[in-house]
Amino acid sequence: MALSDHLRELRARVLRVTLTLIVAVVVALFFFDQLYAFVYGPYEQAQAALPAGTSIATTTGAGGGLMLYLKLCGFAALVVTSPVWLYQVWAFILPGLHPHERKWTRVFAAVATPLFAVGLVLGYVTLPKGLEILIGFNPEGIVNINDFNDYLQFFTRTLLVFGIAFEIPVFVVLLNLAGIVKGKQLGQYRSWIIVGVFVFAAAATPSSDPFTMSFMAVPMVALFLVAEVIARFNDRRRERKKPNAGLSVDEASVL
């Protein structure tokens, strides 16, 4: 295809995604109460666990309520329509991929999507505890006034951090399939990687409590160990397919 044809195809796909998002936002406006209860639920749980009057949620400015509607419905529309716009991205780059690359993209999508969903669920489950600890740092007599738009950003960022964290083992396997990382190397640095996972979890989670950190770190460590097993299996499979027992032309045999 000529460059102009690619640009026209890109424009058509962007228009489809835009129209889909607009329709989804309009539909989400009819379910605003349910969406609000879902997003505000962790904050209410944190409030219930704290002394009365410790924290209140507000909106600021004359257009605060309108922005609340638009941001919340826009966030919901982006999540619900993710299969549509992800497919449009994938369909745009698909013609440029080789058959084996297409196969691996399907495998990646089949594995990465459930892991991302599990990360989102864990982030939502641990969010009330994180909020309770963060708000609890306020001294007695200090009321935490939390703008709901800021809380929505905090809510979104927390869930995204958990979701992306669960994708890291998938990228480790992809690096192994590309020949960049070996399973033996992962085993050599396993202890350091586990320490790095806990450090990452401590920095990425919204609160500093060990409960929330462990909720992210322990499943990540388990997924990393699974990724190491897959990498070692793939290395052995790759070596069996190589001629000369996997030796290069300049490497001496142990025999």
Percent of the chain with pLDDT over 70: 89
Confidence grade of residue 255 (pLDDT, cut at 50, 70, 90):
low
Mean pLDDT of 191-214: 77
Task: Output the pLDDT for position 125.
Answer: 86
CA distances (Å), 180 to each of 99, 151, 189, 235, in order? Answer: 21, 40, 15, 11
Q: What is the pLDDT of residues 207-230, one digit of tens each?
A: 666 776 777 788 888 888 888 888
**pLDDT score of 226:** 86
Residue 48 is predicted with a pLDDT of 83
Strands 144-147 and 55-58: parallel
Percent of the chain's residues with pLDDT above 90: 6
Q: What is the DSSP letter of 92?
A: H
